Chains A and B, each alone.
Chain A
Amino acid sequence: NAGVTQTPKFQVLKTGQSMTLQCAQDMNHEYMSWYRQDPGMGLRLIHYSVGAGITDQGEVPNGYNVSRSTTEDFPLRLLSAAPSQTSVYFCASSKTANYGYTFGSGTRLTVV
Chain B
Amino acid sequence: GQQVMQIPQYQHVQEGEDFTTYCNSSTTLSNIQWYKQRPGGHPVFLIQLVKSGEVKKQKRLTFQFGEAKKNSSLHITATQTTDVGTYFCAGFRGGNEKLTFGTGTRLTIIP
* B43→A103 contact, CB < 8 A: yes
In the docked arrangement, what's the CA distance between A13 and B46, Å? 34
Q: Chain B contact residues: over half helix, strand or loop, or mixed? A: strand
In the docked arrangement, what's the CA distance between A9 and B42, Å? 12
In the docked arrangement, what's the CA distance between A33 and B47, Å? 19
Most buried by A among B2, B44, B48, B101: B101
* A100→B103 contact, CB < 8 A: no
A-B contact count, CB below 8 Å?
Answer: 63
Tally of chain A residues near chain B (CB < 8 A): 26
> Would you call A68 an interface residue if the criterion is a C-beta within 8 Å of the partner chain's C-beta atoms?
no
> Would you call B50 an interface residue if the criterion is a C-beta within 8 Å of the partner chain's C-beta atoms?
yes
Residues in chain A near residue B90, CB distance under 8 A: 43, 101
A58-103: which residues lie under 8 A (CB-CB) from chain B? 58-59, 90, 92, 97-103
Q: Given A43-B88, A97-B92, A105-B42, A48–B97 Cβ distance below 8 Å?
A: yes
Determine the residue in chain B with the shortest Cβ distance to A31. Answer: B97
Q: Please, what's the 1-or-0 string for B31-65, where 1 marks a CB less than 8 Å from any CB in chain A?
A: 10101000001111111101000000000000000
Residues in chain B near residue A41, CB distance under 8 A: 2, 103
A98 is contacted by which of B6, B31, B98, B103 (Cβ under 8 Å)?
A: B31
17 interchain pairs, CB-CB under 8 A:
A31-B97, A42-B103, A44-B101, A45-B98, A59-B98, A90-B42, A90-B43, A97-B97, A100-B33, A100-B47, A100-B48, A101-B33, A101-B35, A101-B43, A101-B45, A103-B42, A103-B44
